[in-house]
């Protein structure tokens, strides 16, 4: 029935059209016939344009209509869309039925269209209603006599239909979610979310994770999203700096943005959806890209079975070619009261990422917890203006990512700056006390970290501290491919003792002084969203000298030069990370010439709250043809064991458990460490020995925005102690 026919309907008594269903265009005025008791179905016609545009416009119109009228049936005409070359597969999840002609066929719930009639009589209407061959019969009519329609309503055959409840498909669930989300988005004009942000990651030479916390207020409105950060602390200390005139000395490190978000209507269907069962009263719908295009994601969505609101969303990104090589985001939604209505908004966001930095890799865990929402607040504009006028750090969410909002020196307006500074310069000094190093190792030097070298995304990390230095670099994408390159070098001017034990007794006459250094370079290639492969070449050289106790008959060996390869596999899932590696090595001018080392590691970082964080790590190592100079050893740099001096334990196989927990309170951070190594040292008669170690540390902010830390550890097995004092000052 045309919109003009419906508009021409005269006033009719309530209930006079009870049991009659009218199918009308989407813009038809239906108030009068609905008051008379008729039910309405809406017919969607294809719009002008290409077949893709016709499908896109139809899905958009259906979603908008369902958001306003969720109880009205939506129908499409099969013949009309197929005549335009449009695919019904992308449309049927959005509709309740598809109309077909007498000779056609249609998917889903098919309604049969009869030949049209002009001014039908009551008998013609009854005869049409008794036709068979489809779930429902559609009779196109013109020049309607509304008195005949009312009489048909009173005389129509009473038909009893018994059908089972049909299980919704993934596409139908997504279509209903989109309509529900559009309805909610139309209701919500602005939100103010108040909560906390916690960022947890690891840094070389820090046993416990680094924790950055901030009080966060998120303003979302029609003009975008602005974020206010207050009381920014690094390990409990206010050393991050930053304010209205300058960003904090914390670069914004983000994964690549998703070009086409899932669960949205797009011109070309970018995702494939599948129903993966039910969980706690919600449909679990998985999604993945239809083609291997960059900028897309995969994951799952938990959609409520009753009202089709989103309860949880998991998004996993693949093909990342920046410093963030993998990213997984989990959003949990909760009910929020908004002027008597209930809306579902994110209450906790957990982001698990893997960062490939210059010379190190670390998991990054970001948690945003919202304590309170204000929806459609009348003071939104005023409070946003107050935040922008304050001295607090502000950020804006832009299409290119988060950007700091910085106030110009000569005005009050803020403007975006590109990710703050991409380099960090700092002075680092301290003392390392290790019984096996010839003297307390004092170091002081400069550190330079550049996260966007030459504006090409490469990274460089350099530290020179007088007695030792290191440099590392990484290129996140080689010629725009998925391949990444990285490398590094390390050297130390101090010497430490290479000790020998036989049957549990130290052989002082065989001890030597050693001085190591190495250079490495390699490639990284993501294999899946969570798995990466690495291939590295390593060149390391160790020089030896006699100690004062070395026997005259023992000649110090020539410097050892090793050429090795390291094949590694890394995988991440949420807070867990796993690494397995194999290291075959050839020694230059040495016998035996070859040896192999291999191992695996499992690590988990835990954000137990804004004030408490923890890290657990379990490693296993083994090898073939290992001798005194190729066995594993604990040291203060690459392979520490709390409380045990450098090179005091040499082993050819074993397992190591490391744990660290940090607690922050009023600007002071207290660290606790607990390690245990069960390793086989050929210098002892037993197959394996347990070496437990404990320790504690204190970190606090100092004058001139310095971070000072003191760490002490005790080796239970040997009664040895180590200590480290460090002062860090960014500028």
* Burial grade of 52 (CB within 10 A; 0-12, 13-18, 19 or more): middle
Answer for the pair 466, 443: CB distance below 8 angstroms, yes or no: yes
pLDDT category of residue 160 using cuts at 50, 70 and 90: very low
What value does the mean pLDDT take over residues 352-369? 80
What value does the mean pLDDT take over residues 92-103? 87
What value does the mean pLDDT take over residues 25-33? 91
pLDDT of residue 210: 80
What value does the mean pLDDT take over residues 266-287? 92
Percentage of the chain exceeding pLDDT 70: 94
> Lowest-confidence range among 172-186, 306-320, 500-514, 546-560?
500-514
Q: How many angstroms from the chain centroid is the CA of residue 380? A: 29
pLDDT of residue 621: 97
Centre a 10 Å sphere on the Cβ of residue 358 and count the other Cβ atoms it contains.
22
Residue 12, pLDDT > 90, answer yes
Residue 158, pLDDT > 60, answer no
pLDDT category of residue 281 using cuts at 50, 70 and 90: very high
What value does the mean pLDDT take over residues 370-386? 95
What value does the mean pLDDT take over residues 77-83? 90
pLDDT category of residue 120 using cuts at 50, 70 and 90: very high
Residue 410, pLDDT > 80, answer no
* CA dist 18 → 2, 4, 149 (Å): 20, 21, 10
pLDDT category of residue 162 using cuts at 50, 70 and 90: very low
pLDDT category of residue 420 using cuts at 50, 70 and 90: low
What value does the mean pLDDT take over residues 465-480? 83
Beta strands in 4-88 (DSSP E): 21-25, 39-44, 73-77
What value does the mean pLDDT take over residues 58-80? 92
* CA dist 126 → 112, 123, 153 (Å): 16, 5, 9
pLDDT category of residue 3 using cuts at 50, 70 and 90: very high
pLDDT of residue 165: 55
pLDDT category of residue 246 using cuts at 50, 70 and 90: confident
> Lowest-confidence range among 72-81, 132-141, 318-327, 600-609?
318-327
pLDDT of residue 664: 84
Nearest CA to 376 out of 239, 188, 610 is that of: 188
pLDDT of residue 381: 95
Give the position of tokens 């209450």.
Answer: 347
Answer for the pair 219, 192: CB distance below 8 angstroms, yes or no: yes
pLDDT category of residue 358 using cuts at 50, 70 and 90: low
Nearest CA to 181 out of 339, 70, 26 is that of: 70
Rg of the chain over CA atoms, in angstroms?
A: 35
Residue 102, pLDDT > 80, answer no
pLDDT category of residue 108 using cuts at 50, 70 and 90: low
Beta strands in 222-360 (DSSP E): 224-234, 271-279, 282-289, 297-304, 310-317, 324-338, 341-356
Residue 285, pLDDT > 50, answer yes
pLDDT of residue 207: 63
Instruction: Count Cα atoms within 13 angstroms, Cβ side, for 288.
Output: 9
pLDDT of residue 202: 74
* DSSP state at residue 88: G
> Angle, nearest 10°, between helix axes 51-68 and 170-187?
60
Residue 444, pLDDT > 90, answer no
Q: Which two tokens stand for residue 195?
A: 């909560």
pLDDT of residue 104: 62
Residue 129, pLDDT > 80, answer yes
pLDDT of residue 654: 96
Return d(Cα 680, Cα 230) in angstroms, integer: 51
Residue 269, pLDDT > 70, answer yes
pLDDT category of residue 360 using cuts at 50, 70 and 90: low
pLDDT category of residue 418 using cuts at 50, 70 and 90: low
pTM of the model: 0.77
Encode pLDDT of 537-565 as tens digits: 999 999 989 988 899 888 888 888 999 99
| Sequence-separated (6 or more) residues with CB below 8 Å from residue 466 | 443, 444, 445, 493
pLDDT category of residue 109 using cuts at 50, 70 and 90: low
pLDDT of residue 365: 86
pLDDT category of residue 392 using cuts at 50, 70 and 90: very high
**Average pLDDT score, the chain:** 87
Return d(Cα 534, Cα 674) in angstroms, integer: 30
Encode pLDDT of 660-688 as tens digits: 998 888 778 899 999 999 999 887 777 88
Return d(Cα 695, Cα 723) in angstroms, integer: 9
CA dihedral for 472, 528, 575, 451, sign (positive or negative): positive
Domains of the chain: 3-166 (3.20.20), 172-417 (no CATH), 423-730 (2.40.160.50)
pLDDT of residue 227: 96
Encode pLDDT of 613-664 as tens digits: 888 999 999 999 998 889 998 887 778 999 998 878 889 999 999 999 988 8
Residue 38, pLDDT > 60, answer yes
pLDDT category of residue 106 using cuts at 50, 70 and 90: low
> Lowest-confidence range among 1-5, 217-221, 409-413, 566-570?
409-413
Give the position of tokens 């008669």.
Answer: 685
* CA dist 661 → 198, 204, 208, 614, 712 (Å): 16, 16, 6, 4, 14
Instruction: Count Cα atoms within 13 angstroms, Cβ side, for 92.
Output: 15
pLDDT of residue 412: 72
Note if the bond before 592 is cis, omega within 30 degrees: yes
Long-range contacts of 184-188 (CB under 8 A, 24+ apart): 184/309, 184/343, 184/344, 186/67, 187/338, 187/341, 187/343, 188/338, 188/343, 188/375, 188/376
């Amino acid at each position: 029935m045309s919109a003009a026919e419906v508009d021409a309907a005269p006033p009719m008594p309530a209930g006079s059209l009870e049991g009659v269903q009218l199918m009308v265009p989407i813009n038809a005025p239906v108030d009068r016939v609905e008051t008379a008791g008729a039910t309405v179905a809406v017919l969607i016609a294809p719009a002008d344009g290409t077949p893709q545009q016709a499908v896109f416009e139809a899905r958009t119109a259906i979603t908008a209509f369902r958001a306003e009228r969720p109880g009205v049936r939506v129908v499409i005409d099969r013949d009309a869309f197929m005549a335009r070359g449009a695919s019904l597969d992308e449309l049927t999840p959005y509709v309740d039925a598809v109309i077909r002609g007498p000779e056609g066929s249609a998917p889903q719930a098919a309604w049969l269209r009869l030949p049209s009639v002009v001014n039908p009589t009551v008998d013609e209407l009854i005869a049409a209603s008794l036709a068979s061959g489809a779930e429902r019969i559609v009779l196109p009519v013109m020049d309607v006599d509304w008195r005949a329609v009312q009489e048909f309503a009173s005389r129509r055959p009473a038909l009893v239909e018994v059908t089972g409840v049909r299980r919704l498909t993934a596409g139908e669930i997504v279509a209903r979610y989109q309509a529900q989300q559009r309805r909610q988005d139309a209701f919500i004009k602005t939100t103010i979310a108040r909560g906390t942000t916690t960022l947890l990651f690891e840094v070389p030479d820090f046993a416990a994770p680094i924790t950055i916390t901030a009080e966060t207020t998120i303003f979302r409105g029609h003009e975008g999203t602005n974020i206010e950060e207050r009381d920014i602390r690094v390990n409990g200390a206010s050393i991050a700096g930053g304010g209205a005139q300058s960003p904090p000395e914390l670069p914004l490190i983000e994964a690549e943005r998703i070009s086409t978000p899932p669960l949205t209507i797009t011109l070309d269907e970018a995702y494939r959806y599948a129903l993966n069962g039910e969980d706690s009263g919600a449909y679990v719908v998985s999604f993945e890209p239809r083609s291997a295009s960059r900028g897309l994601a995969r994951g799952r969505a938990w959609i409520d079975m009753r009202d089709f609101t989103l309860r949880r969303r998991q998004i996993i990104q693949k093909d990342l070619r920046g410093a963030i090589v993998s990213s997984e985001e989990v959003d949990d939604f909760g009910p929020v009261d908004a002027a008597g209505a209930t809306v579902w908004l994110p209450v906790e966001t957990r982001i698990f990422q893997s960062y490939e930095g210059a010379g190190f890799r670390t998991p990054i865990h970001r948690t945003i917890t919202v304590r309170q929402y204000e929806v459609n607040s009348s003071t939104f504009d005023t409070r946003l203006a107050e935040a922008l006028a304050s001295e607090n750090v502000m950020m804006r969410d832009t299409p290119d990512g988060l950007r700091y909002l910085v106030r110009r020196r000569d005005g009050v307006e803020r403007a975006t700056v590109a990710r703050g500074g991409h380099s960090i310069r700092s002075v680092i000094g301290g003392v390392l006390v290790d019984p096996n190093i010839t003297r307390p190792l004092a170091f002081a030097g400069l550190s330079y970290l550049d996260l966007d070298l030459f504006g090409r995304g490469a990274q460089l990390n350099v530290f020179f501290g007088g007695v030792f230095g290191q440099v590392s670099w990484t290129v996140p994408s080689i010629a725009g491919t998925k391949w990444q390159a990285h490398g590094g070098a390390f050297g130390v001017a101090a010497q430490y003792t290479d000790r020998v034990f036989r049957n549990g007794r130290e052989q002082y006459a065989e001890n030597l002084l050693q001085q190591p250094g190495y250079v490495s370079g390699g490639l990284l290639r993501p294999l899946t969203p969570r798995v990466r492969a690495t291939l590295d070449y390593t060149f390391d050289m160790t020089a030896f000298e006699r100690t004062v106790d070395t026997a005259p008959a023992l000649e110090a060996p020539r410097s050892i030069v090793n050429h090795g390869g390291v094949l590694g596999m890394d995988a991440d899932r949420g807070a867990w990370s796993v690494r397995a590696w194999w290291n075959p090595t050839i020694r230059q001018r040495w016998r035996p010439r070859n040896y192999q080392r291999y191992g695996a590691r499992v690590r988990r970082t835990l954000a137990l709250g804004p004030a408490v964080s923890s890290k657990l790590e379990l490693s296993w190592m083994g090898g073939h043809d290992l001798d005194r100079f190729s066995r594993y050893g604990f040291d203060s740099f690459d392979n520490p064991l709390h409380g045990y001096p450098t090179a005091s334990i040499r082993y050819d196989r074993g397992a190591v458990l490391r744990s660290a927990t940090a607690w922050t309170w009023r600007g002071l951070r207290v660290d606790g460490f607990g390690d245990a190594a069960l390793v086989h040292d050929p210098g002892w008669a037993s197959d394996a020995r347990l070496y437990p170690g404990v320790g504690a540390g204190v970190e606090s902010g100092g004058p001139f925005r310095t971070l000072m830390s003191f760490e002490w550890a005790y080796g239970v097995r040997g009664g040895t102690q180590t200590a480290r004092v460090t002062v860090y000052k960014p500028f």
